[in-house]
Chain A
Amino acid sequence: MTKYFGGLAAVNGLDFDVSRGELVGLIGPNGAGKTTVFNLITGFIWPSKGKVIFKGKDITGQKPHLIAKTGIVRTFQATTLFSHFSVLQNIVAACYLKSEVNFWGAIFHTSNSLKKEEGVLRRAFEIVRFVGLEAFKDHPTRGLPHGYKRILGIAVSLAADPQLLLLDEPLSGMNAEEVDRAVTLIRRIWERGTTILLIEHNMRAAMNLCHRIIVLEMGRKITEGTPEEVKANKEVIKAYLGTGRHDT
């Protein structure tokens, strides 16, 4: 897998790749362009120059829903959910790609569409159990504690069956206990064979989770390497960890 961008002011001549089965972190100070990178990969914005290549295919300039279909699914930095739905409904709705039925089948409940619906429900249950939100499955999304909302955000993205999962600050706003649980979840998702690229400000968790870390500053890559290498890199310390406190 190769991804390559360049030319955008917010992301400047950035070039990096993620291989199948990796768990890569993307870090950098606020405004470094991390979320922009996600938006570029998933087609929410288009690069002015450069290419996004996924599984050897150029997916630059494709619409977000088509990119999701190829297997790249993202989460959002601000908790984005279907807030009027229950927890389970959120996941069922997100199983859209697995449940594409034709128009008439959906309306007249043909046996084929019913079978598919059943499959979707089973799948949604599996995901709810996998992320540990089983006790909340009929809970309205609105009143859910923040930590669970973030987890549900990840669950929704899992429903689309990603090969490459892009997590935008999955741990933001969580307390220590919630962070531990989310880190375990992310690792388990990775163990199931999903490639993960994540943006994170929680340094300790990011260093702990990721095999490789890419550091961005002002839209440029200043370094990349294993957590140890990155930690030792002088430029990184100067740009980002400068004050000496390693955890946020």
Chain B
Amino acid sequence: MSKKKLLKLLSYSFLTLVIFLLPLFIRQPYILHVLIMMGVNIILASSLRFIATSGQFSLAHAGMVSIGAYASPLLVMKQGFSFWVTFPIAGATSMIIACLIGYPFARLKGIYFTMVTLFLTEFIKLIAEQWRGLTGGVYGITGIPRPNAIIIPELLNVSFSSKVDFYYLALIMVIVTLLILYAIESSRIGMTFLSIQQSDLLAESVGVNSTGFRVLAFSIGCFFAGLDGAFYSHYLSAIAPGSFGFLLSIYAFIYMVVGGRRKFSGPIIGAIILTLIPELSRGFKEYEPFVFAGILLLVILLLREGVVSLPERLNKIIKRRFSHA
């Protein structure tokens, strides 16, 4: 058992090392860009799954990303704060809004919760489009400054002028996010989320405040969505409300379901695959939603537990073949 654990730990650290050293071998900005977007999507899908562990499917994620994506650059450009201050503030803003809205929302269950979160996304988008004085209307914000340089004399000089610097920032963000989400999920709190998912009535009957826990899951998930948004806006240096429509929420949902929502690795795998597919088929860019929908349908029909369940399924099939022979 401990040997298996050690092996797992070793393989994970090896994987991390490889990912860390990747920019030494890959210098093409395009590939780095794809990898960075992969990181953004991993956080998006994983934080969405985190909310889903408490039994609620949120379509508010695009809205929460856009809150973070507007909060950080606005504070930097209008108030002159440093990115390193506004970055966590962006997450916290999404979290506070999620917490305030979460209480009335969490009274609704199942599909009704999902519906109001969808409206929330559209509502936030409308605000971003209409509040021209602050958000720049439909044209959004352009010329968002890069994160402030980190300079430690003779040791470190990160100016965020190349994609490599952003790559490392994204990588650290992904690792920290996943570690925190995993720590919560494997703790007592995560178990309580799962029990609420399975039966909120039973959980309440043994003393669990299920509404409170659902709001907690929602707020934490939205915190990381906000962080993600802040990174996204400073990375692309321009944002517009159009990119945070409900389609983004749906995409996050598809990443999660295609990867497999029962496992922690599910949304990670899903985000990786579905970031790569559109890049590999650039010619079909305008048909992207159709491609995604097709993949989603295939997964739902053939692999209900997502791509991560593929090895397990193959194993079963092989075993069955052998036992028949």
Contacts and interface: CB of A to CB of B under 8 A. Distances in A.
A159 B199 CA distance: 16
Given A99-B188, A107-B187, A117-B188, A84 B206 contact: no
Interface in A42-92: 42, 44, 63-65, 68-69, 73-76, 80-85, 89, 92
A93 B199 contact: no
B14 to A, nearest CB: 25
B184 interface: yes
B207 A97 contact: yes
Contacts of B206: 68, 73, 94, 96-97, 156-157, 159-160
Contacts of B10: none
A189 interface: no
A84 B202 CA distance: 14
A84 B196 CA distance: 11
Interface in B141-188: 180, 183-184, 187-188
Contacts of A99: 188
Given A99-B188, A103-B189, A81 B202 contact: yes
Given A82-B198, A84-B194, A85-B198, A64 B189 contact: no
A80 B199 contact: yes
Interface string B187-222: 111011011001101111111111000000000000
Interface residues of A, number: 36
Contacts of A69: 207
Contacts of A73: 205-207
Contacts of B187: 106-107, 109
A101 B201 contact: no
B208 to A, nearest CB: 5
A195 interface: no
A65 B204 contact: yes
Nearest to A117: B188
A164 to B, nearest CB: 13
A160 B188 contact: no
A25 to B, nearest CB: 20
A82 B202 contact: yes
A63 to B, nearest CB: 7
Most buried by A among B199, B201, B208: B208
A69 B198 CA distance: 21
Given A156-B206, A160-B206, A84 B201 contact: no
A170 to B, nearest CB: 14
B184 A65 contact: no
B198 A96 contact: no
Interface of A: 42, 44, 63-65, 68-69, 73-76, 80-85, 89, 92-94, 96-97, 99, 101, 103, 106-109, 113, 117, 156-157, 159-160
